[in-house]
Amino acid sequence: MSEFPPPTVPTEPAPSAPAPQRRRRRPGTAVAILLAIVLAFAGGAALDLSTGGGDDTEFTSGSSTPATETVIELPDYDIGAARSGDLPRIDVAAVAAAVGPSTVTVMADIENGAFGMGGSVGTGIIATADGEIVTNAHVVEGASAIRVRLAGETEPRDARLLALDVGNDLALIDIDATELPAAVFADPESIRLGDEVVAIGFALDLDGAPSVTLGIVSALDRTIVTANGALDGLVQTDAAISSGNSGGPLVNALGQVIGINTAVARGSSTTAASNIGFAVSVGEALPVLEQLRQQADGTAREEGFLGVALDDRTDGGLGALIRAVNDGSPADDAGIRAGDIVIAVDDAAVEGAAGLIAAIRDLEPGDVTVIRVRRDDTTIDLPATLTTRPES
């Protein structure tokens, strides 16, 4: 018998909608999988990565990394208790009633927005009782105005952008309010493969309360490449995620947020993709949110630049293949060569090009990182000092 009772808080949320598609960073690798991964919102965003190369994989937006004590002890965000057993079977209605009041509609006016739509609509999660709301960066990036509609309200409230991290596709916005029903974030170490989850958000801008879809945690700690970059630390789920869901909560049986819905994979003429959605895990998101809170000036964090073009390996091995090295770049200065296979960054294994893109993206200009490469039959550690991306 589980010691965890299901959530019982009654209340219903409000409606919301999707907007044009958009993305994060720039193209990172020549990936051989022809999937379409689409951002689950209506709007656009640009992701700039620190590696070059072509990308065959399209993404449409819409796992967890291990937690540290720092993550669990972050102030002001409500973190759930550590897990000591199996969770109960999910009560979808109870979870929706518990989390619905913490789920909001986010609307952004974007001049010259994607496809000329001039705006985006997504979902947000109330992170603190005094008005902090987390959503995806691609929902609000480049917005001239942001509005939020709370559950049960008919009129939107003006919001301001505190800060955003395009590379991690996270943004922190704020409204002038108090005593809001803040969501509870799961202990990052409590997420397990096979857990039942629900995705909540304003899919397709349908009238009424947010849509709720049921699924499981299909995989943890995923990394994906989008047309604009890479995202890591993702929870993969088969809960349906649609345009308008971006920035909304992926929730466990206790009504705790385990991830922030971001992307969904779609098939192509050569590749099938069914029920594959992604959410930024709380283990990845909470430290970023704390950085955004400290930053809180409405600008994007600068990301490290290595200066390489990448391919995935085609021989079945793990690692990222260096296709080319930019002259005078940190990679060039470090002695990285075309043909090298990167197998680790700072002792963390790199399984493919997406993993290298994400690892460098999470670092900042001035950081010294050790790139471990396999060259012929030799393994070499090459320290590289990252810089800012040169102006093109």
- Going by pLDDT thresholds of 50, 70 and 90, the confidence category of residue 60 is very low
Structural domains in the chain? Answer: 1-299 (2.40.10.120), 308-385 (2.30.42.10)
Mean pLDDT of 149-177: 91
Q: Which of 165, 169, 187, 238 is catalytic?
A: 169
Q: pTM score, two decimals?
A: 0.69
39: confidence class by pLDDT, cuts 50, 70, 90: low
- Percent of residues, the chain, with pLDDT higher than 90: 44
Structure tokens at 189: 């170490």
CA angle 241, 168, 249 (to 5 degrees): 35
pLDDT band at 249 (very low <50, low <70, confident <90, very high): very high
**224 strand-pairing partners:** 231
- Reported as half-sphere exposure (CB side, CA atoms, 13 A), residue 313 has a value of 18
246 is catalytic: yes
Write down the pLDDT at residue 90.
93
Position 8 scores a pLDDT of 33
* DSSP E strand stretches across 239-350: 249-251, 256-266, 277-281, 308-312, 320-325, 341-345, 348-349
Asked if 138 is an active-site residue, the reply is yes
The one catalytic residue among 55, 61, 138, 362 = 138
Residue 158 has pLDDT above 50, yes or no: yes
pLDDT score recorded for residue 48: 29
Q: What average pLDDT score do residues 110-115 get?
A: 62
Cα 370 → chain centroid: 25
260: left (phi over 0), alpha (psi -120 to 50) or beta: beta
The reported pLDDT for the residue numbered 117 is 53
pLDDT grade, residue 392 (50/70/90)? Answer: low
Residue type, 84: S
**Per the residue annotation, which of 243, 246, 281, 329 is the catalytic one?**
246
